[in-house]
Structure 1
Amino acid sequence: MPESAYTLPALLLLGLPFLAFFALWLGGRGLNKVAGFAGAALTATGFTVAMLYAQPDVLHTVRFEWMVIGSFPVELSLRFDRLTCIMLAVVHFVAFLVQLYSVSYLHHEKNLHRYFAFIQLFLFSMIGIILSGNLLVMYIFWELVGLCSYLLIGFWYQKPRPVWAAQKAFVLNRIGDAAFLTGILMLFYYIGSTDFEVLSISIDTLQPGIVTAIGLCLFGGCVGKSAQFPLSGWLPDAMEGPTPVSALIHAATMVAAGIFLLARISFLLTPDAKFVIVCIGMITMLIGAVKATSVWDIKRVLAYSTMSQLGLMVMAVGLGSWQTAFFHLTTHAFFKAGLFLSAGSVIHAVTPSQEDADFDPQDMRNMGGLRKALPITFICFLICSSALAGLPFFSGFLSKDAIITEGFVWASGFGTLGYIFPIVIMFSAGLTAFYMTRQLWLVFFGEKRYHASAHVHPHESPAIMYVPMLLLSLFSVFVWFSLNPFDATTGWFMSFLGVEHPAHIGWVPVAATAVTIVSIALALKETKAENPFRVLSKEAEKPGFSLLRQYSNDFYFLAPFSYIADMSGKIEKYFVNAFVDAFAKWNVVLAHLLGWGDKNIVDGGIKLTVFSIRSAGQSVRSLQNGKIQSYFVVTITGVLLLILWLVNF
């Protein structure tokens, strides 16, 4: 198929959501009833276009000349390849289900047209990142994704918490984006292009130190968007937005952009850069997993889980296998979106019919025993949790097993200390199984604690909500990625990504499964305690990691990570947050100084010049008054001045 044939699908994939954004936004509240279905229909159309033009074995590019700076042309290039095919399918599919789900979940909203308009703009921005043929184009859409996340997280702008969370996400992402832009400018300076094809050929001409610096700067963009340490603080607070937005951000759009970027630029990453990346990924993975064991908000548990899983994907890239990172990104998109939508179903079920200020429908201490009231939601939550925990016969097991295997292969070449990384991955997988078992029990088993409010009457969600949950649960099963439930190397996905000889270690699935089962057993043992997970303890209401500290004595394997979590919290509070606050305050001070300078120096200089010219003009004009005496005075003064000048010279 000729390159020009891909101009139409590129325009359709980008144009449909962009035009939908303007139509829904400008259409006003009159479109509230049809906005969700119209948006879902256009997303389904985009999915169809992407599949019809899918030709993964051939690279297709579409180029437009944007501008010419001197003799240097700046191109907007788009590309269709293997990564594009998978990401377009995942993003459109998840966005389609999220929009259908939102029709019912947010039916009471007065500004529903605005919500779906922002969803379409979000989709447009993410598709732009996917289709980008160079880093400059990617950066343009990268910033649009940041804007969309700000708009959607702060959708309930009348409440202070969502606005604060949106601002925090925006500011922290700007820090990462500044590093990303620095890397792009360095590539322009040293190579003169950011096109992926040109970079793959020209990057060997640079010194290794420069390439390492460029790779780490570009990785800074991933640190912001994919919530890596130390810029991960925005992700849990993003839960202040609507639950379907959380599903979209955590599964297929914003946080996925960072991993997609690393997959695109993997050839730019030197061994030194990869080692830094694997260390950052490990720290993020552990912080997220440990924090998830202690929070009570049902959405925050999943948010910290996403943070941990993103760290795992980043580690995979650092270990030299972007393919397994992309594999886990794909499987994670389905089961994490399913978990968030299921969590939304639970929140929907326990939200009081009348306002009750003392009852929080997102606090798992106000749930329990919901298994029978929400049978479909329970099944979906159980399947997606099993995939996240890495149990056999689920997709998450295959992708985690692939990353752990790559970790041991990498460690065999790195040295003895290298084995720390795959061992920590297995340990983190055990923590994941632990906190997901805890969450399942707190929500669906045990006593019915929602009776604390007389206005709560749990009920199953309508079909338009549970059908997307069921579909996402269905795609969380192993069979879609490999017919062998214990080995991803025999499946189509790895070969589709071009992995010719994928690594496989026979004992890794056994060991990983053993760690998962032991962790689940420890969590089940805690459910038999007199006060399971300290759910009734007043001390558990204290912020921070108090719950983790309380049972870390019983489960000794958590004790070191309780300390790590405490230290990470202090680092975030006293260093990261302090830096952001100081940066914001100095920006305000600088703005006031610039304002004073503009008013008193720049404007003052202009006013002084105008005053001087006006005064001189007034003085000269006063002499031209029609009186002969004045003319004599001017003439005599001029003659005297001329004589003085001649005498002196």
Structure 2
Amino acid sequence: MPASPEFFAASLLLGLPLAVFLVLWLAGKSVNKMAGWIGALATGAGLAASFLLVDIHAVHSLSFEWLEIGQRPIFLSFRIDNLAFVMLLVVHLVALLVQVYSTAYLRGDENLHRYFAFVQLFLFSMIGIVLSGSLLVMYIFWELVGLSSYLLIGFWYTKKRPVWAAQKAFVLNRIGDAAFLTGILLLFYYIGSTDFEVLVSNVHTISPGMLTLIGICLFGGCVGKSAQFPLSGWLPDAMEGPTPVSALIHAATMVAAGIFLLTRIFFLLTPDAQLFIAVIGTITMLTGAVKATFAWDIKRVLAFSTMSQLGLMVTAVGVGSWQMAFFHLVTHAFFKAGLFLSAGSVIHALHYDGTSDFDPQDMRTMGGLRTSLPVTFICFLICAAALSGLPLFSGFLSKDAIITEGFLSAASIGPVAYVFPVLMMLAAGLTAYYMTRQVWLVFFGTKRFSGEEIHPHESPSVMWVPMAILSLLSFFIWFSLNPVSAEDSWFLHLTGGSEAGHLSWVPIAASAISLIAIFVAYRETRTNNPFGMDSLLMRDKQRPAFSWFRDFSNEHYFLVPFSSLAGLAGKFEIKVVDAFVNFIARANVVTAHLVSWIDCNVVDGAVRLTVYMIRFAGNSVRGLQNGKIQSYFLVTLTGIFLLILWLATL
């Protein structure tokens, strides 16, 4: 391949994290103290390279031949454009802040070199997805991201729960990836290439029905990676990994890879495929929001919230607005990463080496922390307001832009399509409710922990500075000068999109719903048993919330309905399949015994009877040959009599 600035940029962006991964992995524990800062320095260099080397005013494609299958060459293709530029900034910036934060959060861990090496491996894989110029190259890095997620979720491999959670994430993602690979192979069969530029030119050669099937198969990759129904069960359990990992992978970057995939393949999606995507996204959006309303673990609330927001982005793609989905992807990356890091600050403040069963992640044992953790409280409150879609925050712009596009799309499709934007507004109200609930449970009310054992304290500056930066990036000003509309947003201009229209009543209605939800949550805090936490505390120790829906064991990877279905299938196999096989076997045994009896008593009996009759006749005739004339005369006379009798009958 000829040398070019684009080739140098792609090589540098991919080479930096890969090289640091190898260095940290091979150096071992000897670099534990410096591992975090080495990783952060390399990531900062990648962020600077993204700014300086990527040309956002043109599309640059790089390709070289990899191998041949028969007479067909296979190319490895890379693409650098405005979408890649935005994703590079998001991935590098969040990763940089997370690594700086991790140097304090994980201080004292004996395997820091391994942790930061895995983070660099993840960065290498994620950047590969961003720079992919074909679905084949994307799939290669897609699987590496899955491996990185598995390694980081199970970082504390000496504990059962993180290992189980990592295995569950790996298994469920492979199911979605199988569908993704099927779509890639179908495209390769029908077009002969998976390069985006070739697909755009030849997509019309595929029949609409087959194209719908291909689009749904490719969407399967998003279902697994972005935790969509029915493969969303792995994301809440992934919270067993370190909290900074949750901020990096399961809030800002890896789970967003599925949305990025949809933006790349949107031209392949037929109306039927978009409808399917919208339905799946809506189910995920509502399921995540409802579950977050009842969760008590501070990280699980944010995990369910991530599910819900990813469902909102997928629904946006389904209603035909991938630009707004991508817009929300970026805004969500900052305020959700800020929420996770702030939650980590709370956990860090409540952690101790006592002997009681105090859970530093259970919000029912917190309360009143705003005075002890003032910086964390402010950061959490700002990011929660952005997630709730309140005015003056970035989440307000992106979420309302999606809802607006939903109503405009429904106006052109038909009345039934209005169900999508209406449910979006309902989910927005639930988001405001459960975030108000979380803020109150953690930072307001009376302290619900023992003052003798727990001494909450503000996190060091190396932790709260990244939180503060992410909080500042959650304000509207970074994305649009207009605080109530994204119509003139530089972001939409950069991505080549714009609002199809502006509905002035949507921001008002959405804000009103959010404020009503906040008020309802506030009224709940004034009751004697806010959110029912006291009555549920003891019961949940015996039976966790939603235990009817999720398996909490350390052995199973799937949701309870899937396990129940598997159990029914097992019973069907035993009661029906095995019973039928056993019946056939017993019937064969009985038949064999019957055939053996017939063989011994009928077939062999007939043979023995014939032999006996012949022997009896022979013996009888031999008895007449005794040398006595009387016997011979009797035989002769009998023969003559029988001969005459025979002749008489003729």
Same fold (TM over 0.5): yes
The 1:279/1:338 distance shift into structure 2, 3 A limit, reads same
Say if 2:487 and 2:498, in contact at 8 Å, map to a contact too.
Answer: no
The 1:132/1:518 distance shift into structure 2, 3 A limit, reads same
Q: In the TM superposition, what are the counterparts of 1:185-196 in structure 2 within 5 Å?
A: 185-196=185-196
The match for 2:532 is: 534
Whichever residue aligns with residue 329 of structure 2, its letter is L
Provide the secondary structure at the position in 2 that maps to 1:344: helix
The 1:582/1:238 distance shift into structure 2, 3 A limit, reads farther
Whichever residue aligns with residue 562 of structure 2, its letter is V
Q: In the TM superposition, what are the counterparts of 1:454-473 in structure 2 within 5 Å?
A: 454-473=452-471
The match for 1:153 is: 153
Say if 2:168 and 2:558, in contact at 8 Å, map to a contact too.
Answer: no
Question: How far apart in 2 are the matches of 1:154 and 1:195?
Answer: 34
Question: How far apart in 2 are the matches of 1:573 and 1:266?
Answer: 30
Matched, 1:80 2:80: yes
The match for 1:90 is: 90
Question: How far apart in 2 are the matches of 1:386 and 1:434?
Answer: 11
Question: How far apart in 1 are the matches of 2:46 and 2:178?
Answer: 32
The match for 1:269 is: 269
Provide the secondary structure at the position in 1 that maps to 2:4: helix
Matched, 1:438 2:424: no
Say if 1:250 and 1:336, in contact at 8 Å, map to a contact too.
Answer: no
Matched, 1:576 2:574: no
Q: Which runs of 5 or more structure 1 residues have no equivalent in the other structure? A: 549-564, 586-649
Cα deviation, 1:561-590, whole Å, max 9, x if unaligned, reads xxxx977999974443456899999xxxxx
Deviation at 1:250, TM superposition (A): 2.4
The match for 2:256 is: 256
Matched, 1:379 2:378: yes
Question: How far apart in 2 are the matches of 1:168 and 1:536?
Answer: 32
The match for 2:245 is: 245
The 1:17/1:331 distance shift into structure 2, 3 A limit, reads same
The match for 2:63 is: 63
The 1:580/1:226 distance shift into structure 2, 3 A limit, reads farther
Q: In the TM superposition, what are the counterparts of 1:342-381 in structure 2 within 5 Å?
A: 342-352=342-352, 354-381=353-380
The match for 2:236 is: 236
Matched, 1:429 2:431: no
Matched, 1:114 2:100: no
The match for 1:313 is: 313
Question: How far apart in 2 are the matches of 1:370 and 1:475?
Answer: 24
The match for 1:505 is: 503
The 1:501/1:436 distance shift into structure 2, 3 A limit, reads closer
Question: How far apart in 2 are the matches of 1:172 and 1:240?
Answer: 16
Say if 2:281 and 2:311, in contact at 8 Å, map to a contact too.
Answer: yes
Cα deviation, 1:388-424, whole Å, max 9, x if unaligned, reads 0000000000000000000001111121111111010
Deviation at 1:264, TM superposition (A): 0.3
Say if 1:133 and 1:196, in contact at 8 Å, map to a contact too.
Answer: yes
The 1:546/1:418 distance shift into structure 2, 3 A limit, reads farther
Deviation at 1:323, TM superposition (A): 0.2
Deviation at 1:501, TM superposition (A): 5.3
Farther-moved stretch of structure 1 (64-73 vs 46-55): 64-73
Deviation at 1:544, TM superposition (A): 11
Question: How far apart in 2 are the matches of 1:33 and 1:432?
Answer: 40
Say if 1:545 and 1:566, in contact at 8 Å, map to a contact too.
Answer: no
The match for 1:399 is: 398
The 1:43/1:567 distance shift into structure 2, 3 A limit, reads closer
The match for 2:164 is: 164
Say if 1:291 and 1:545, in contact at 8 Å, map to a contact too.
Answer: no
Deviation at 1:366, TM superposition (A): 1.2
The 1:65/1:581 distance shift into structure 2, 3 A limit, reads farther
Cα deviation, 1:351-401, whole Å, max 9, x if unaligned, reads 12x233410000001110000100000000000000000000000000000
Say if 1:250 and 1:333, in contact at 8 Å, map to a contact too.
Answer: no
The 1:501/1:447 distance shift into structure 2, 3 A limit, reads closer
The 1:32/1:547 distance shift into structure 2, 3 A limit, reads closer
Cα deviation, 1:53-110, whole Å, max 9, x if unaligned, reads 2222210011122112222111111110010010000000000000000000001100
The match for 1:482 is: 480
Cα deviation, 1:287-320, whole Å, max 9, x if unaligned, reads 0000001111000000000000000000000000
Say if 2:24 and 2:116, in contact at 8 Å, map to a contact too.
Answer: yes
| Among 496, 518, 521, the residue aligned to 1:520 | 518
The match for 1:597 is: none
Cα deviation, 1:200-244, whole Å, max 9, x if unaligned, reads 110011100010000000000000000000000000000000000
Deviation at 1:540, TM superposition (A): 6.8
Provide the secondary structure at the position in 1 that maps to 2:255: helix
Provide the secondary structure at the position in 1 that maps to 2:164: helix
The match for 2:220 is: 220
Q: Which runs of 5 or more structure 2 residues have no equivalent in the other structure? A: 572-650
The match for 2:15 is: 15
Report % sequence identity.
Answer: 64
The match for 2:38 is: 38
Whichever residue aligns with residue 440 of structure 1, its letter is V
Deviation at 1:490, TM superposition (A): 1.8
Provide the secondary structure at the position in 2 that maps to 1:11: helix
Whichever residue aligns with residue 8 of structure 2, its letter is L
Deviation at 1:349, TM superposition (A): 0.3
Whichever residue aligns with residue 351 of structure 2, its letter is T
Cα deviation, 1:410-468, whole Å, max 9, x if unaligned, reads 111121111111010000000000000000000000010122x6321000000000000
Question: How far apart in 1 are the matches of 2:398 and 2:339?
Answer: 18
Whichever residue aligns with residue 368 of structure 1, its letter is G
Say if 1:434 and 1:522, in contact at 8 Å, map to a contact too.
Answer: yes
The 1:483/1:566 distance shift into structure 2, 3 A limit, reads farther
Say if 2:549 and 2:561, in contact at 8 Å, map to a contact too.
Answer: no
Question: How far apart in 1 are the matches of 2:130 and 2:139?
Answer: 11
Provide the secondary structure at the position in 1 that maps to 2:449: helix
Question: How far apart in 1 are the matches of 2:48 and 2:566?
Answer: 43
Say if 1:162 and 1:240, in contact at 8 Å, map to a contact too.
Answer: yes
Provide the secondary structure at the position in 2 that maps to 1:156: coil
Provide the secondary structure at the position in 1 that maps to 2:229: coil
Q: In the TM superposition, what are the counterparts of 1:577-616 in structure 2 within 5 Å?
A: 577=563
